Chains A and B, each alone.
Chain A
């Protein structure tokens, strides 16, 4: 029997050029003045002009905050909050990758209530209310549009998280048009990241449930079926839409059945070597799958039909082999670094990385197989 709680974003719109409907959607949410939260790269790429024009045409006054930085520093979040207060924003739109969406969550929350950022780090400390919030991801992806977490980097370079159901937006808007220009490496890293979300949700030790399972399986099906396609045909809007949907479904799954050792081992790579989050996950994924095999063979076997539709497997062991084999081959053909040495890690770093990975106990406890410090070091060493 399974006791569980499942929370998610109440409304998802998946529509090519859906960003041109942002004006109408803001009016529906009762907002005539909005803050658009995005990053300099998207502004340079010209992706913000059409949505902003659409907002203005719907009679919505839009103020742009486009200085979101990767791994958003506290100061940048507070600057965005000030921009929202200054323009009298009645709603917030996050448009971008995970950093923009995380920033937008906190802006909507802190512009809507009296609490300070420092007061809400932790779980369920935010009291709300928040301003209406629409999240528009431009990678597929972090799944941030359907998670209740925002991560901020403090001045002491510590990562702090705000966890609250108030951070689920009112609307997640998936517009494949915004993702056709993604560089291949970014499509690949974020796509593998999304697959890791689905895999780790499905094998999550404590909070896995039928709903997260169903969403994870469908996510993996969409992601495995379309990742190669978007790399070969970046302008394929159907494949891009399916990647966005897969990423979102994986997000819905892991928001309720948390990720585990792949993420725990990935975080120190981001922290010390500034490896992008998706790449960090991709680097340690295959070693962790092999490591977990003894504990998770049956679950990996259940994932096999999602990545290899139509294939038959005689035994769970064969299905598990096929699943790990599929993921190994997929990661190997991705256009990004395959070894830790390629991102600047040397043997002498492994102790520090292992020590830091062990600090991520909140995720390690979800892993199907316990991970010791020696295990962590061996896992890193195997992909050095």
Chain B
């Protein structure tokens, strides 16, 4: 019954709110904004719109547009140098999870003497970050409401920084920024967000009533709108619901933990560069099957949110319907679902299973059912 819960203190959600981003920074007393994004955001014109809105509110803006997926430490350092030279007094992260994760560290390091590598781990940051606003352009990682940042170090290892200092001041949701997302990205990031909600709700380690309320609401929003945005990417209301669901799933999982689905997804990203959301989508359905008996009661509860209005004979039927409902969503997502067609080397499966059971034990600990190396291998082989 003991829980600790952290939450972004302010959320703004409105179609077109990118045009009002200047007021958000003015409210924080910021005059010189470093915009952290990737080249795609510049091409789409969003970076230009953000600059115009900020300048209209009297801010001076500098753009760092070199973020790449799984951001390397060198990119973060480069952005920090640019921000210092510019004398930034606030940071805007605009983009997918990589840009938001990079922006968090940049806001912290511009204002700190600590070297980046000293931050790896939990609660290592000693400095206070600059004012920070995060605007996701996918729905999503939920990074805009978490205090975690994952980057890739010089040895190509993923390094996570956990620090309360990484929680932004404001998370801003603008569904118009997601209207043009390609279907594949929409599907992968949408399923990723659903995994956040599901794994938070079934977390064996830190499940709690606050996260539960957020996770169930998130699952209802995501499950009810993913097919809509895949059928019509320009459906603003459905895009907005996906962003809201992603945010609430983010609030839930960062306070309750994710579990083995994420555990099995990480090696696929680290070794074969499968995007994080897609990697989660790959292992999601077989993992829910694997967990079904251990998580039956909880999956039955989630069935009411994924399949509102449906009536189930009993708990077992509800849990079955939940897993079948997710399987159908994954199948209909249009994503490639075989590892063999995604460049994964079959010979790497035993090593990937070792990565999971050895290196990501904390995620197995949060899973409703324990897993050994053989069971992890079997999941990978089942989707090979």
In the complex, whether B26 has a CB less than 8 A from a CB of chain A is no
Nearest to A28 among chain B residues (CB) is B164
**What residue of chain A has the Cβ atom nearest to residue B14's Cβ?**
A3
Nearest CB on A from B218, distance (A) = 8
Interface size classification for chain A: 35 or more
**Interface residue A214 (Cβ < 8 Å from any Cβ of B):** yes
Q: Is the CB of B6 within 8 A of A10?
A: yes
Instruction: Tell me whether A11 and B213 are in contact in the complex, defined as CB-CB below 8 angstroms, given that A2-B240, A214-B248 are known contacts.
Output: no
Determine if B42 is an interface residue (Cβ-Cβ < 8 Å): no
Among A32-40, A95-103, A235-243, the stretch that binds chain B is A235-243
The contact of B11 among A6, A14, A237, A245, by CB within 8 Å, is A6
Q: Are B1 and A168 in contact (CB under 8 A)?
A: no
Query: In the docked arrangement, what's the CA distance between A213 and B244, Å?
Result: 12
Contacts of A18 in B (CB 8 A): 2
Contact with A along B164-177 (1 / 0, CB 8 A): 10010000000100
Which among A215-223, A292-300, A322-330 touches the partner chain? A215-223
Contact B2 A15 (CB under 8 A): yes
At the interface, yes or no: B272 with Cβ under 8 Å from chain A? no
B13 touches A209 (CB 8 A): yes
Q: Which residues of A contact B8 (CB under 8 A)?
A: 10
Complex: A139 Cα to B52 Cα, angstroms: 49
Chain B residues within an 8 Å CB radius of A237? 1
CB-CB under 8 A from B248, the residues of chain A are 210-211, 214
Give B6-32 as 1s and 0s: 1 = Cβ < 8 Å from A's Cβ atoms.
Answer: 111111111101000000000000000
A358 to B209, CA, bound (A): 37
Q: For the complex, is B5 an interface residue (Cβ under 8 Å from A)?
A: yes
B5 x A210 contact (CB < 8 A): no
Cβ contact of B213, chosen from A5, A6, A209, A249, cutoff 8 A: A249
Check B217 against A210 for contact (C-beta < 8 Å): yes
Across the interface, A13 reaches (CB within 8 A) one of B1, B4, B12, B236, namely B4
Instruction: Produce 1/0 per residue, A338-372, CB < 8 A to B.
Output: 00000000000000000000000000000000000
Answer whether residue A45 sits at the interface, using C-beta atoms and an 8 A cutoff: no
Mask of B332-374 contacts with A, CB within 8 angstroms, 1/0: 0000000000000000000000000000000000000000000
Q: Is B3 an interface residue (CB 8 A)?
A: yes
- Render A226-257 as a binary contact track against B, CB cut-off 8 A, 1 for contact: 00000000000110011001100100000000
B2, B10, B15, B212 — most chain A CB neighbours (10 Å): B2
Kindly name the residue among B4, B15, B240 whose own CB sees the greatest number of chain A CB atoms within 10 A.
B4
A211: chain B residues within 8 A (beta carbon): 11, 217, 244, 248
Which A residues lie within 8 Å of B14 (CB)?
3-4
Total number of A-B contacts with CB less than 8 angstroms?
A: 109
* Smallest Cβ-Cβ distance to B209: which chain A residue: A245
| B10 and A5 form a contact (CB under 8 A) | yes
A6 to B14, CA, bound (A): 12
Given A10-B8, A10-B167, A211-B11, residue A16 in contact with residue B244 (CB < 8 A): no
Question: In the complex the two chains form, what is the Cα distance from A195 to B217 in whole Å?
Answer: 19
- Determine if A241 and B217 form an interchain contact, defined as CB atoms under 8 angstroms apart: no
Q: Are A11 and B209 in contact (CB under 8 A)?
A: no
Q: Is B378 an interface residue (CB 8 A)?
A: no
| A218 and B212 contact, Cβ closer than 8 Å, known pairs A10-B167, A12-B5, A14-B3 | yes
| A8 interfacial contact with B, CB 8 Å | yes
Task: Give bound CA distance, A222 to B209, whole Å.
Answer: 8
Determine the distance from Cα of A218 to Cα of B252 in the docked complex, in whole angstroms.
Answer: 13
**Interface: B254 (CB within 8 A):** no
Report chain A residues within 8 Å CB of B2: 14-16, 18
User: Among the listed B1, B10, B167, B217, which residue makes an inter-chain contact with A213, where contact means beta carbons less than 8 Å apart?
Assistant: B217
A118 at the interface (CB under 8 A from B): no
Partner of A238, one of B1, B7, B15: B1
Which residues of chain A in 164-202 are interfacial with respect to chain B, using CB atoms and an 8 Å cutoff?
Answer: 165, 168, 176
Contact status B213-A210, CB under 8 Å: no
B313 CB to closest chain A CB (Å) equals 12
> Is B9's CB under 8 angstroms from A241's CB?
no
Q: How far is the CA of A15 from the CA of B4 in the complex (A)?
A: 8
Instruction: Report the minimum CB–CB distance from A296 to chain B (whole Å).
Output: 19
Q: Which residue of B lies closest to A253 (CB)?
A: B213
Asked if A16 contacts B1 (CB within 8 A), the reply is: yes
Question: Is there a chain A Cβ closer than 8 Å to B230's Cβ?
Answer: no
Q: Which residue of B lies closest to A174 (CB)?
A: B3
From B238, which residue of chain A is reached at the shortest CB distance?
A1
Complex interface: chain B residues within 8 A of A8 (CB): 7, 9
**Contact residues in A for B10 (Cβ distance below 8 Å):** 5-7, 165
Q: Whose C-beta in chain A lies nearest to the C-beta of B311? A: A312
For B7, what are the chain A residues with a Cβ–Cβ distance below 8 Å? 8-12
Q: Which of B17, B208, B213, B218 has the most CB of A within 10 A?
A: B213
Pairwise interchain contact B1-A14, C-beta atoms closer than 8 A: yes
With A and B bound together, what is the CA distance between A27 and B12 in angstroms?
32
Name which residue of chain B comes closest to A219, CB basis. Answer: B213
B221 at the interface (CB under 8 A from A): yes
Given contacts A5-B11, A7-B10, A13-B4, contact A210 B221 (CB under 8 A): yes
Max chain B C-beta neighbours (<10 A), residue from A1, A3, A210, A214: A214
- Asked if B191 is at the interface of the complex by the 8 Å CB criterion, the answer is no
Q: Residues of A contacting B4 with CB < 8 Å?
A: 11-15
B237 sits at the interface (CB 8 A): yes
Is the C-beta of B178 less than 8 angstroms from some C-beta in chain A? no
Chain B 177-215 interface residues, beta-carbon cutoff 8 Å to A? 208-210, 212-214
Q: Are B237 and A1 in contact (CB under 8 A)?
A: yes
Instruction: Provide the residues of chain B in CB contact with A218, threshold 8 Å.
Output: 209-210, 212-214, 216
Is the pair A2, B13 in contact by a Cβ cutoff of 8 Å?
A: yes
CA distance A12 to B3 in the complex (A): 8
B211: nearest chain-A partner, CB-CB: A218
B240 to chain A, nearest CB (A): 6
B244 touches A168 (CB 8 A): no
Docked-complex contact A10 and B1, CB < 8 angstroms:
no
- Chain B nearest CB from A315 CB (Å) reads 12
Q: Which chain B residues border A249 with CB–CB below 8 Å?
A: 209-210, 213
Tell me the bound Cα distance from A14 to B52 in angstroms. 43
Whether A215 contacts B237 by the Cβ 8 Å rule is no
Q: Can you list 23 contacts pairing A with B, beta carbon distance less than 8 Å?
A: A2-B240, A4-B11, A5-B10, A5-B13, A6-B12, A7-B10, A10-B6, A11-B164, A13-B3, A13-B5, A165-B9, A165-B10, A176-B1, A210-B241, A211-B11, A214-B216, A214-B217, A217-B217, A218-B212, A218-B216, A245-B209, A249-B209, A312-B311
B residues near A (Cβ < 8 Å) are 1-15, 17, 164, 167, 175, 208-210, 212-214, 216-218, 221, 236-237, 240-241, 244, 248, 304, 311
Given A9-B9, A214-B218, 5 extra CB contacts under 8 A: A1-B240, A11-B7, A16-B1, A18-B2, A209-B13
Chain A interface residues toward B at CB < 8 A: 1-16, 18, 165, 168, 176, 209-211, 213-215, 217-219, 221-222, 237-238, 241-242, 245-246, 249, 305, 312
The 6 closest A-B pairs by CB, nearest first: A218-B213, A214-B217, A3-B14, A12-B5, A6-B11, A15-B2
